[in-house]
Structure formats: structure tokens, C-alpha cells
A = this chain, B = another copy of it.
Amino acid sequence: MAEAAGVSRSAVSRAFTPGAYLDADKKERVLAAAFKLGYRPNALAASLQGARTNLVGVVSGKRSNPYDGEWIVRLVAELNAADKWPIVLGGNGADTEQDVFSVLHYPLDALIVRGGSVGPAVIENCSKLNIPVILSGRVLEAPRIDCVYTGNHRGTELATDMLLKKGRRKFAFIGGPAGWNSAQERQTGVSDRLVQEGLDLLAVRNADYSFEGGAEAIASILAETEIDALVCGNDAMAMGALSYLRHQTDLDVPEDVSVVGFDDIAMAAWPDFDLTTVRNPQDATVFEILRLLESRLSNPDKPGEISRLEPELVLRSTH
């Protein structure tokens, strides 16, 4: 490249460095030659000199949860807008953690992790490598880890409270994969509130956050238990359950049984579902991730920050 333009290596470098001193003529010559050859400076070679790579790892959850799909698409868009380039992992379940280790071979500016997609080993490795980690949907108090989360317990508590006021007494809950923190918290949000009224959760099922999973779970519940309120760990399962109730049973929603979801994904508002749900504020989540990222990058050694977002009840027609 340098010889193509008939200048020194340094000159080429300066031509692409905003604010660097370089004769206008010479700069023009470099840019012209670059255009002709399709040349652009190798960002990775530059990073060996200490520049940021602007590469961030993004680890999402399983692909059965549409909320995760929306999360990743929005996050990618915002990251792009901030000139950060996401290397995306996830969707294939079991091997995700191994994949993260592979991606740690690249000099990442940061790693953004959704929910419970990876374990503590990954995070420990990142801190050894000095790669900041931002957790979305999970909390971890650690030296230089930042977190954004929505009050899960509070969210389903709000839903349960509303349902109780409406006179519901026979509650069931369909949660995400057993063992996940968020799934557990959403469940206890219901059960803790019920206990205050001297009530129990009559039935609990765990599914995979998918539409089909929700439909199967409600079928299994109805085979054994009579209920008048169903709270679900996410919207997709709530929609699956709602669909099953409407098409496979004589039960009327909301006349006989109330259905409430969690997340407020785009589809929840479609007239065909019009799902009452708990908003897990996605805009705010993505916005916070970006804010925490910039803030961490400009001040790598500051203490970890934990940002809590408040859930909000969205009343539509299924409660």
C-alpha cells in the first residue's frame, strides 16, 4: 500500500488517523490509492499497538425464547450504531460455554452475556484476561462486573396481586427451565404473594420458554388441577397456553381463567393474543447495557455497577 501511493508507511497510517499531521496532497494520494485497491487499515493489526478493537462478544440464550431473539436484534442494532461490532454466540444450547472460550481468543473490548447462558468459569476467565463483562438479566456482585436486570420477583408479584384483587384463588405457574435464577424468582414472586393470603400455588410446571412448551404445560396442568389463574414465566409460554385454552378446551379466557405473561414482546400486543403481561423493559435494558459499556470502557477500574429496572403491569384482555 505504501509503495502504491509512493509514500512511507507512516504517511499511510496518518492518512487514516483523524487529526494526524499530513500534507494534504500526500493524503489525497494515499486515499486515492486506497480507494483503488479497496484498502483499509487492518483494525486488528492496529489493536496490537494498544488500540481498542471495538469487538464485543454477545452471548444470548437458547433460541426458543422470542424475547432473547428480540434482545439480540436490538442490541446488535444499538451496538452497530455505537461503532461496536458484536461477535454473536448462542442459540445452540449446550456448547455455548465452550464457544465463549473460543471467542476469548480474540481481543474483545467486552463481553455481554444474557441471562444464565454461561457459568462462572467464563466470567472468571474474563477477569483474568481483563475483559469487562456485562450481565443482562442476571446479577453477580463481583469486582468489575456490571449488571442490568428487571425485578423478576416484583413483576410476578404485581401480576398476582392484580389477579387476587380480581378474585382469583386457584393459581398455577408455568416457569422457565428449572434451576434458572430468573425462572425461580418469577415463581416465588407468585408464591410469596399467595402465601400472604394463605394460598398455595396449586400447580407448577417448567418448560423451555417456548410457545409449544407453554401449550404442553397447560395441558398437563389441566389434566390434574382446576385453576382460575395462570401466570407464566414468559410471553411465549403464555401465548402457547392461551392458544391451547382457546382451541383445545371449553374454558373461556378471561371468563373462567386468567392468563398473564412476562416480557411484553411485540406479539403480545397483537389483537390475536392481546395478552395481559408484565413488561420487562427492553428499550431500557439495551440502553443500560450500552451505557454501562461506555462507562466501563472509559473507566475500566471503577467498581461494578448493578442497574435494576422496574417491571410494569400491562393490562390487556386476558386477565
Residue numbers of A with Cβ under 8 A of B are 37-45, 47-48, 53, 55, 58, 63, 69-70, 72-74, 76-78, 80-81, 83, 85-92, 95-96, 99, 101-107, 124-129, 211, 239, 243, 246-247, 266-267, 270-273
Are A91 and B77 in contact, CB atoms less than 8 angstroms apart?
yes
User: 7 closest Cβ contacts across the A-B interface?
Assistant: A38-B128, A77-B91, A44-B44, A43-B105, A77-B92, A247-B271, A38-B125
Question: Known: A44-B47, A55-B87, A270-B211. Is A92-B63 also a contact (CB below 8 A)?
Answer: no
Question: Known: A128-B37, A243-B271. Is A76-B105 also a contact (CB below 8 A)?
Answer: no
Determine how many copies of this chain the complex contains: 2
In the complex, A101→B261 CA distance in Å?
A: 41
Are B42 and A107 in contact, CB atoms less than 8 angstroms apart?
yes
Between A and B, 20 residue pairs with Cβ closer than 8 Å are: A37-B128, A38-B124, A38-B125, A38-B127, A39-B129, A40-B104, A44-B47, A44-B48, A55-B87, A63-B73, A76-B90, A77-B90, A77-B92, A80-B92, A80-B95, A85-B103, A87-B87, A239-B272, A247-B272, A267-B267
12 further contact pairs, Cβ within 8 A, besides A44-B47, A80-B99:
A38-B124, A38-B126, A42-B105, A43-B106, A44-B106, A44-B107, A55-B106, A58-B88, A73-B91, A80-B92, A211-B267, A246-B272
User: How far is the CB of A15 from the nearest CB of chain B, in Å?
Assistant: 14
Which residue of the partner chain B has the closest CB to A63? Answer: B73
Instruction: Find chain B residues with CB under 8 A from A99 CB.
Output: 80
Which of A70, A107, A246, A270 has the most chain B CB within a 10 Å cutoff?
A270
In the complex, A273→B246 CA distance in Å?
A: 13
Instruction: Find chain B residues with CB under 8 A from A39 CB.
Output: 129
Instruction: Find chain B residues with CB under 8 A from A129 CB.
Output: 38-40
In the complex, A104→B34 CA distance in Å?
A: 13
Question: Known: A128-B37, A270-B211, A272-B272. Is A81-B92 also a contact (CB below 8 A)?
Answer: yes
